Structure 1
């Protein structure tokens, strides 16, 4: 098997950056919820049970700043705002599935 060169510092920085976004409570659930297609704020609040409006708003802004979620305003009337995954956000869906499968098989809750 050919040995793959591994840049430990670059990998660590990338993983640290990824978990700084995805490691925040609710962000994985928001991304997963948007995996079904664009959604309004109210629909997301219903899909992510237990999240407050303020936290949902903050998390959506963070995910948008990270380039994972796009916010679209329809002038209406009435004015509506929808959220959808960007291509980068869509690319996360299989990774989140794999991570969930791995966690279920390998991490022990105490």
Structure 2
């Protein structure tokens, strides 16, 4: 069984649930948001995501790398340098991230001035 077939066999039938399986927690969404801007080192990513422990960030990045969303590049330097970037698959989530941003903007506007939510 190929790696793609193995991954496919573990995914739910519902496409929305499939997406949430990949980016269904707060940290994954914030990591995606910050990597949409470009390549970042671990420390930069930790600062930009904010309030995330080193252990949780490491775990989330590994899971996202396994899912094919994030690329990890290690440079043979002293001290070692590691950079994270989005793969083409990760970049394909840009419209989803844009929709989340737009909805959040509209929701905050709705709460502040009563503007109806756009359907």
TM-score between both structures, scaled by the size of structure 2: 0.73
Give the structure, 1 or 2, with the largest relative contact order (CA under 8 Å, sep 6 or more): 1
The answer to whether the aligner puts 1:97 opposite 2:93 as a matched pair is no
Q: Which residue of 2 aligns with 1:82?
A: 83
SS at match of 2:26: coil
Give the number of aligned pairs: 99
User: Which range moves more in the overlay, 48-57 or 13-22?
Assistant: 13-22
| 1:2-81 alignment, distance < 5 Å | 13-81=14-82
- Structure 2: gaps of 5 or more residues: 1-11, 112-119
Distance 2:78 2:23 in 1: 35
Deviation, 1:105, is: 3.6
Q: Which runs of 5+ in 1 are unaligned?
A: 1-10
Q: Secondary structure at the match of 1:26?
A: helix
Superposition RMSD in Å: 2.2
Greater shift in the superposed pair: 99-108 or 38-47: 99-108
Q: Distance in 2 between matches of 1:106 and 1:77?
A: 47
CA distance in structure 2 between the aligned counterparts of 1:39 and 1:106, rounded to whole angstroms: 30
How big is the shift at 1:13?
2.3
TM-score (norm 1): 0.79
